[in-house]
Structure 1
Amino acid sequence: RALALVSLPSTPCRDALADRLAAAALPPGPLLVVSPRPSPLADHLAARLHRPAAGLDVSSSGDYDFFERALAHAS
Structure 2
Amino acid sequence: MVKPSPGMRRVLRQAHLYGRLVAYNGKLYSPGDNHRLCSEETAIAMVKAGWLRHRGEDYEVTPDGLRADARRE
Same fold (TM over 0.5): no
Q: Which has the higher strand share?
A: 2
What TM-score, normalized to structure 2? 0.28
Question: Quick one: higher RCO (CA 8 Å, sep 6+), 1 or 2?
Answer: 2
